[in-house]
Amino acid sequence: MDDEIKTFTLDEATALLPVLEALLKRAIEGKQAAESIEGRMQELARKIFLSGGLMVDISRVRRQRATLESHIQAAKDSVAEIDAIGVQVKDLDTGLLDFPCEIDGEIVLLCWKLGETRIDFWHTVEDGFRGRQPIDDRFKPKKKKPKPEQPN
């Protein structure tokens, strides 16, 4: 088993944002839809309990449960795709992602949140989101020195 962590440059992480944003939105939508259905099913269970029983459309409840499971699976699949890319989902509710990045021989995390137009922050593994700091020149690509002009 390979324990080597995948790392990203700022440019590589930025290039992935459109794909990751789509996956993240799909995961969030699946989670929210599942939570909505789950809430309705819990409310039905509460009504049945309080009334001592109700006539329940069992086939409708089964369909709701199947829909619930499909939303949960869609969310799990999307998160698994993000994870397979090597990006960490830190908070699905807020759409928070971390990209491992090596700077000065240390692994830090580029930090991006759904709604942000680009990756502007990073933090250490230990500090987490609260330790977010602005991206600095260490993350920008090293400019190659221009080659001296050759005489004609």
Q: What is the structure's pLDDT at 57?
A: 78
Is residue 147, in this structure, part of any structural domain at all? no
Q: What is the structure's pLDDT at 51?
A: 77
Count the domains in the chain.
1
Is residue 133, in this structure, part of any structural domain at all? yes
Range of the domain at 32: 10-139
Is residue 44, in this structure, part of any structural domain at all? yes
Is residue 4, in this structure, part of any structural domain at all? no
Is residue 5, in this structure, part of any structural domain at all? no
pLDDT at 148 over 70: no
Tell me the pTM.
0.80
Is residue 63, in this structure, part of any structural domain at all? yes
Is residue 47, in this structure, part of any structural domain at all? yes
CA 114 – CA 105 distance, rounded (Å): 28
For 95-106, what is each residue's pLDDT tens digit?
999 999 999 899
Q: What is the structure's pLDDT at 1?
A: 43
Q: Which tokens in the block code for residue 47?
A: 């009504």
